[in-house]
Amino acid sequence: MNTIVGNIDSIYTKAVPIKRGPRAGQDGTVYHAMVNGYDVNLGFKCDYEEGESVTWNVEEKFGGYQLVKGNTAAPSNPVAPAPTASGSAKPAHTGQAPTEFPVPKNTKGISICRQNSGGHTAVIVAAMIDNGLLNSQEEITTAFLEIAYEITDFATGQREAAMADAKAAYAGPEGD
């Protein structure tokens, strides 16, 4: 079990298929919160608000962090330290979430960033559709991929890493 301590940066929802129970086969809405760069699955109910300070026990489940409900046991592995006097908190390196910058390619951190970027991109593309900027499926798909890759490259630091590599290649081996 891990602990995440910090302020809720954002709360968003995802539609997921329900696999068991009387609503099996239907879609349900799952709430997620971003805290200090960590995506935490809150489940089907959300009793939290953006900006709220939280200390959550979480476990790794379903490919990410899942809020442990009703758990008051002391956690064994802190994920993020308590906020400092300045009010900011920096995620601790646990080997599970992206803490290196730029985020190394072919790591779990890239996958998490891509998923997060996809969610943000869906909101942007939906607004573009609503405003009549995108009409065909081809335009929508192209815009989605371009925006998602742009956000991912920015969020992971890959954009800056590629720029630094290009600048170094242009300058030559002596850096001229």
Q: Give tens-digit pLDDT for 122-134.
A: 999 999 999 999 9
Query: How far is residue 66 CA from its own chain's centroid?
Result: 13
- Residue 50 contacts residue 11 (beta carbons within 8 Å): yes
Q: Give tens-digit pLDDT for 28-86.
A: 888 999 887 888 888 888 888 888 888 888 888 777 888 887 754 344 444 444 343 33
The tokens 């942007």 sit on which residue? 124
- Residue 135 contacts residue 81 (beta carbons within 8 Å): no
**pLDDT, position 85:** 37
Q: Which helix (H) or strand (E) holds 134?
A: none
8-state DSSP, 120: H
Q: Is a pLDDT exceeding 60 seen at residue 140?
A: yes
- The residues, ordered by sequence, that sit 6+ positions from 116 with a Cβ below 8 Å of its Cβ are 34, 39, 155
170 or 150, greater pLDDT: 150
Q: Which helix (H) or strand (E) holds 33?
A: strand 27-35
pTM for the predicted model, two decimal places: 0.42
144 falls in which pLDDT band (50, 70, 90)?
Answer: very high
Q: Is a pLDDT exceeding 70 seen at residue 24?
A: yes
The total of other beta-carbon atoms located within 10 Å of residue 154's CB is: 13
Q: Is omega for the bond preceding 91 within 30 degrees of 0, making it cis?
A: no
- Residue 53 contacts residue 41 (beta carbons within 8 Å): no
CA–CA separation, 81 and 110 (whole Å): 23
**CA nearest to 74, candidates 55, 97, 48:** 55
